[in-house]
Amino acid sequence: MGKTILEKIFAKHSKDEVKPGNIIWLELDIRSARDFGGANVVKNFQREYPGEKVADPDKTFFTFDCVAPAVTIPYANNQQICRDWAVEQNVTVFDVDSGIGTHVLIDNGLSAPGTTVVGTDSHMNILGAVCAFGQGMGDQDIAFAFKTGKTWFEVPPTMKIEITGKYEYPTTAKDVTLAVIKKMGASGCLGKAVEYVGETVEKMSLNERITLCSMATEMGAIITLVTPNEDVDNYFREKGITYDIADLTPDADAEYIETVKVDVDGLEPQAAAPYAPDNVKSIKELEGTEINSVFLGSCTNGRYEDFATAAKIAEGNRVKPGVMFRANPSTRGEYGRLIKDGIFDTLFNAGVIMSHASCGGCASGQLGMTGAGEVQLSTSNRNFKGKQGDGQTYLVSPAVAMASAIEGKITLPK
């Protein structure tokens, strides 16, 4: 019987029989911890493996992205626990200047297509965008992975989501992502792996795939995987990384438990209204809703192209006085490109608070919470009650975020 993409990746990383429902020991190419969870990983490791070393320091990383730099003493203490221990263990820390861990791993060629990667970020499965198996895990799981280089995993069944149809700007990959979440709901993919297929997905750039795959967790999916296309191949080839595409393409006789079709032909810009990522409405339904603040960034929409889209709209305009607009690029590398290409300037001149690379407003505590009664637009992936403060958050694309910021209300970009 043929194999799905995930089954192929697992088969290359396990001696056990890979079939849905089986529990296998999986070899991990990369194991990481961010600052949220990191200190607990260290404490678990020290308690369970006193005086011992990690399995492989070259495959073990810390990525500080949530509260970067630390804004409270407890967060600072936790980060320092990780730094001190990393020195002891000879493990690399991508420190508070680096940016969002998953993006740092992609940009450094560490989570290349076909690899297996775990970390304490529940959006680790965003790595499905580059056809890597990424999985968010808790502190104990990661401490165990640091020590053994392995994890137990139940092979999930795979379903297909086929996306077809053409859409035009101002509709973007974010709107397609929200349309998929609307169709599947918060638990529509619970416990399943997903393969995204269809003409619309095949054409998507690496950047767009990252957005699409950044909300797998919001549908309950274990991961959403996409077979690499030329854009992804070129991105990794420039880093000297090549792979056999056959390893990342499902067999013709692979078994799927379900196929769901999503037609995005003529799709209009979308938003997830408070307080759930699957509470998706069309921007037209929400037009005119007054807003108080905007956040551009996160692992979903924090890349160069997302900022470039916002800058195009911002050119010659200004964020409406009274609207607070915060922006954090995904990585230091992307931040540098924004400065070099003048995008930083355009956004700065439009009144945007341009901050450094990190999770920014998406993780609590670092950069701006919402107050009771505040209405925020965010390009991130979660708008649960209380997550980013007492206010209400709508999840939107960078284009909708910027067009709305200029008008001070939810607005369809021209």
Other beta carbons within 10 Å of 1: 8
Of the pair 45, 167, the CB lying nearest another protein is at 45
Q: How far is the CB of 43 from another protein (least distance, A)?
A: 6
Task: Enumerate residues 66-85 that contact another protein by CB under 8 A.
Answer: 66, 72, 74-75, 77-78
Nearest-angstrom CA–CA distance, 222 and 290: 36
Contact 370, 390 (CB under 8 A): yes
Alpha-carbon Rg for the chain, nearest whole angstrom, is 21
Which of 313, 363, 396, 403 forms a contact with another protein (CB under 8 A)? 363
Q: Are strands 270-272 and 280-282 parallel, antiparallel or unpaired?
A: antiparallel
The residue whose two tokens read 């349309």 is: 179
d(CA 215, CA 232): 19
48 vs 202, which CB is nearer to another protein? Answer: 48
Quick one: which of 11, 245, 276, 308 contacts another protein (CB under 8 A)? Answer: 276
- Partnered with residue 294 across adjacent β-strands are 325, 377
* DSSP-based three-state secondary structure for 202: helix
Pick from 222, 286, 319, 354: which binds another protein (CB under 8 A)? 222
Site string for another protein, 152-191 (x = CB under 8 A): x-x-------------------------------xx--xx
Give Cβ neighbours of residue 203 (< 8 Å, ≥ 6 apart).
229
- 391 touches another protein (CB under 8 A): no
Interface residue with another protein among 12, 48, 290, 345 (CB under 8 A) is: 48
Q: Give yes or no for a contact between 395 and 272, defined as CB atoms under 8 angstroms apart.
A: yes
Question: What number of other Cβ atoms are within 10 A of residue 398's Cβ?
Answer: 29
Stretch that binds another protein, among 42-50, 106-114, 259-267, 340-348 (CB under 8 A): 42-50
Q: Which amino acid is at 292?
A: N
Nearer to another protein, 22 or 90 (CB): 22
Name the residue nearer to another protein (CB basis): 65 or 334. Answer: 65
Residues that bind another protein (CB under 8 A): 23, 25, 36-37, 39-40, 43-44, 48, 66, 72, 74-75, 77-78, 120-122, 124, 136-141, 143-144, 148, 150, 152, 154, 186-187, 190-191, 217, 220, 222, 276, 363-365, 382, 384-387
